[in-house]
Amino acid sequence: MIGTFNTLINELQSSYKKLKDFGQNASHELKTPLTIMRGEIEIGLRKERSIVEYQDILHSVFTELNLLQETIEKILFLSSHSDAQLKKTFSDIYFDEVIAEVISEKQLFAKQYNIQLQIKTIEPTTVVGNFILLKILCANLIENAIKYSYAEGIIELSLIDRQFIVEDFGVGIDVEDQEAIFERFYRVDKVRNHAKGSGLGLSIVKSILDLHKFPIEVISTKGKGTKMIVTFPL
């Protein structure tokens, strides 16, 4: 009876935490597609445009709406499963395909802030994990690099020797901030563009990494940029 009671308490605590995290994670993950759609619509309303230009805008908004729907479905999936249940969904994932999919989705977001996503080396790499979570991991690391890059900057992406590397050449992170960047709602107040963050992106990244037991290394120099290195152990 004591064991059953303790299990029940643990499940209630886990459910409460997931309910609390749901709202915070939802606001973070839904912000990007909404920002892009708003930007496209504002561009369309500034002046009269040709039919082709309006079609391009509608196509862009339609693409982001599909991404928004997909994101909502992902969040609902994640919020309704415990860590133990999520681990049961782990399978062999081609992480190079995950990166390609995320880059395709983030190109427009990067373009809005004059940032170029540049692929250096992408090796075929298989990891064991949850596809949805690994995609969120990849997307959040790239978005974070965009937010702390200088305008017209470059973000270099690599997948080599079982390491996923995201490197920007932006503002960098102070030494005293590096220990805290993965804490929930922690934000460095040196964003160089208008892609303001909620302080949840890297916290979500850390949760996903912990679940998969993937280590991450942060190498940063103030004023020169930041390199995030995720390692996939064999």
CA distance 63 to 48: 22
Q: Are residues 107 and 32 in the same domain?
A: no
Taking every pair of Cα atoms in the chain, the longest distance, rounded to a whole number of angstroms, is: 72
With contact defined as beta carbons under 8 Å apart, do 81 and 15 qualify? no
69 and 93 part of one domain: no
Q: Are 150 and 107 in a shared domain?
A: yes
Paired tokens of 41: 């619509």
38 with 103, same domain: the answer is no
Residues 91 and 189 in one domain: yes
| CATH label of the domain that carries residue 121 | 3.30.565.10
CATH number at residue 39: 1.10.287
| Same structural domain, 125 and 15 | no
Domain housing 139:
87-234
**What domain count does the chain have?**
2
pLDDT for 31-64, tens place per residue?
Answer: 777 887 888 888 888 888 888 888 888 888 887 7
Q: Which of 80, 113, 141 is the last residue of a domain?
A: 80
Give the end of a domain, one of 80, 97, 120: 80
Q: Give the model confidence (pLDDT) of 199-228 as tens digits.
A: 567 878 888 999 999 999 999 998 899 999
Q: Mind listing the pLDDT tens digit of every residue in the chain (234 residues)?
A: 666 656 655 655 555 455 455 555 566 567 777 887 888 888 888 888 888 888 888 888 887 787 777 667 666 666 666 778 888 889 999 999 999 999 998 888 888 888 999 999 999 999 999 998 999 899 989 988 998 898 889 999 999 999 999 999 998 888 777 777 777 545 555 554 444 454 567 878 888 999 999 999 999 998 899 999 999 998
pLDDT for the residue numbered 84: 81
Shared domain for 18 and 92, answered yes or no, is: no
Q: Do 57 and 169 share a domain, yes or no?
A: no
Cα–Cα distance measured from residue 159 to residue 96, given in angstroms and rounded to the nearest whole number: 7
Domain boundary residue among 80, 115, 134?
Answer: 80
Q: Are 33 and 68 in contact (CB under 8 A)?
A: yes
Query: Does 15 share its domain with 76?
Result: yes
Q: Is the domain of 140 the same as that of 75?
A: no
Long-range contact set of residues 30-37: C-beta below 8 Å, sequence gap at least 24 = 30/68, 30/71, 30/72, 31/198, 32/109, 32/143, 33/64, 33/65, 33/67, 33/68, 33/71, 34/68, 35/109, 35/112, 35/195, 36/60, 36/64, 36/108, 36/109, 36/112, 37/61, 37/64, 37/65, 37/68
User: Measured at the alpha carbon of residue 213, what is the angle toward residues 209 and 217, in degrees to the nearest 5?
Assistant: 60
Same domain, 103 and 177: yes
